[in-house]
Amino acid sequence: MITAGLLAVAFLAQQTSVPPQAHTADEGLVAGILAQQAAVPDIAALHAEAAAAPDPEWSARAEGALTRSYYALPGFAQGIRSFAVTCSSTMCEVAGEIASELAASRTNELTAGLQSPGGEAPPPGFEQVLHHLGAHPDDRASFAFVTYWRRD
């Protein structure tokens, strides 16, 4: 019995004195995964581009087309507290707030539509660059969204 106890103590001492071998990620694997990821657009840069000088002919037509596309979404007029479309000569910014008193099921339906107004295809003449939906910065109980559309 004493022998078994001594063996157990020696075995435990051996296990605690040898640090576990660190596992490192395969750098080639990680680099390959990162290479496949699209670069995340800079929202501040997109906002600045959308706020730049408008195209006198195109910008007003683009703002109208995007506004109609969003208002065609089911429940949009009742579920949106504020909404604005601003177009420069190359980029449009669509921003708004979802009413906090909207029922959860209606909010889910509306937010799904906001991601792709008009269905699967973007509105004609536009390429969607970024869509962001998150908690409103001033009212955590409601949501705010911003979408950037590049002139096609």
Residue 107 near residue 143 (C-beta atoms within 8 A): yes
> Of 96, 101, 128, 105, which Cα lies nearest the Cα of 115?
128
Would you say the pTM of this structure is higher than 0.85?
no
Query: What are the Cα distances from residue 74, in Å, to 102, 107, 118, 119, 147?
Result: 13, 11, 11, 12, 18
- Angle among Cα 142, 105, 70 to the nearest 5 degrees reads 70
Q: Specify the higher pLDDT residue, 142 or 46.
A: 46
pLDDT for the residue numbered 4: 45
Q: 87-136 pLDDT, tens per residue?
A: 999 999 999 999 888 878 888 889 889 988 867 677 888 999 999 999 88
Residue 148 pairs in a beta bridge with: 93, 130
> Tell me: the pLDDT tens digits for 20-56?
555 566 677 888 787 887 777 899 999 999 999 999 9
